[in-house]
């Protein structure tokens, strides 16, 4: 888990009151899935011969290979221009 100091809208973009931006884990989207989604994915993987899995990985390409940073306070996306080193 990578962290970096940043400004965020939850703190009114204050340079004096920085937040910690946390890089989201590569497969965090899997934690957000409910049991019904998991059942649907397993069924569709068997029905389509695995093509459905390729579609899911393609859809979440940026989440897996270019994870983004989120504010530790409000969970809002933190852009690189908001980083403060």
- Cβ-proximal residues to 62 (8 Å cutoff; 6+ apart), any chain: 68
Same domain, 75 and 57: no
Beta strand extents in 1-85 (DSSP E only): 3-6, 19-23, 69-71, 77-78
Same domain, 1 and 16: yes
DSSP state of 29: H
* pLDDT value at 16 more than 90: no
pLDDT tens sequence across 18-55: 999 999 889 988 998 999 999 999 999 999 998 989 99
Q: Which domain, by its residues, includes 4?
A: 1-24+68-85
Same domain, 33 and 19: no
Same domain, 55 and 40: yes
Number of folded domains in the chain? 2
pTM above 0.75, yes or no: no
pLDDT band at residue 15 under the 50/70/90 scheme: confident
Same domain, 78 and 51: no
């Amino acid at each position: 888990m990578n962290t970096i100091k940043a400004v965020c809208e939850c703190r009114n973009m204050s340079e004096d009151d920085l937040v910690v931006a946390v890089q989201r884990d590569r497969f965090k989207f899997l934690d957000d899935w409910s049991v019904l989604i998991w059942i649907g994915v397993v069924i569709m993987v068997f029905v389509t011969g695995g093509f459905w899995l390729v579609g899911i990985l393609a859809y979440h390409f940026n989440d897996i290979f270019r994870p983004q940073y989120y504010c530790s306070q409000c969970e809002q996306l933190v852009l690189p221009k908001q980083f403060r080193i």
